[in-house]
Copies of this chain bind each other. A is one copy, B any other.
Amino acid sequence: MIIKDKKSQPVVFAVSDSIGETAELVIRAAMVQFNSDKVDIRKVPYVTDNEYVEDIIEEAKNTADCVIVCTIILPEVRQHLLSLAEQNQIPIVDLMGPMMDTFSKIIEVKPHLQPGLVHRIDEDYFKKIEAIEFAVQYDDGKDPRGLSRADVVLIGVSRTSKTPLAMFLAHKRLKVANLRLVPEVAPPDELFHLPPKTIIGLTISPEKLFDIRQERLKALGLSTEATYAQLSRIMEEIEYADMIMEKIGCPKIDVSNKAVEEIATSILEIIRKGEV
């Protein structure tokens, strides 16, 4: 089940009794600090019995440089992994154990201790799926009827991260429609009848947008001479977008040099404060 590894590469085993999503995420967050693409992160999902634990320990013993990161919920299985790792001097980090113990101090109910619960199909799950489908359906102003049904409407010129932002916010259960602002196409009337607080304007510096669009054209194998990526055109689009945003009176976020996750955090902040 576990494939043997090349000797030189450090290995992190992400051992979970569910699918191992959480472990992988935290490992990546830590790993990026080491600037190391050479580490092999190996997810070992569905580890729910002691026999499987023993297999993993055997494999780890045969791997030169390795660390185990464990997000096992089942206390017995987790304990077995922890003691075997210690016996065999394999470095191990227990992500869920200390957290569950600490939470028990403030929460009176007993934990379910049921692996995979985080992926259960419940109302919250359906909300997330619905939000993802909504973002796809109402991407790029495809259907103006989406505007009034959205929790948030993102507006901005082309290449201001509207689509990926809509998707990140969908994971937070927000229904997001997005609309591209272009001088040649007047926005649908619906936009001006929405509560201004449901709209967020994405702005960007002309220089940054110039770089992004030049790159975009290169990536598509097109000439960088196209109007789309000319500074005069970019200035015209940005001015037009600014004018629309002023008219609406919506909050604005400058997306230049920001990652989508950071912009999403700012948007959530605005929503929380303004109770959009």
Contacts and interface: CB of A to CB of B under 8 A. Distances in A.
Interface string A197-216: 00000000000000000000
A262 interface: yes
Interface string A41-65: 0000100000000000000000001
Contact of A259 (B26, B105, B121): B121
A21 B119 contact: no
Contact of A96 (B20, B30, B109, B128): B30
26 contacts: A10-B106, A11-B106, A12-B106, A19-B261, A21-B265, A22-B26, A25-B25, A26-B96, A28-B118, A29-B71, A30-B103, A32-B120, A33-B100, A34-B103, A34-B109, A34-B110, A36-B107, A39-B107, A93-B99, A95-B95, A116-B262, A129-B161, A132-B167, A133-B163, A133-B164, A167-B167
Interface of A: 6, 10-12, 19-22, 25-36, 39, 45, 65-67, 69, 71, 73, 91-93, 95-96, 98-100, 102-103, 105-114, 116-121, 125, 128-129, 132-133, 135-136, 139, 161, 163-164, 167, 170, 257-262, 265
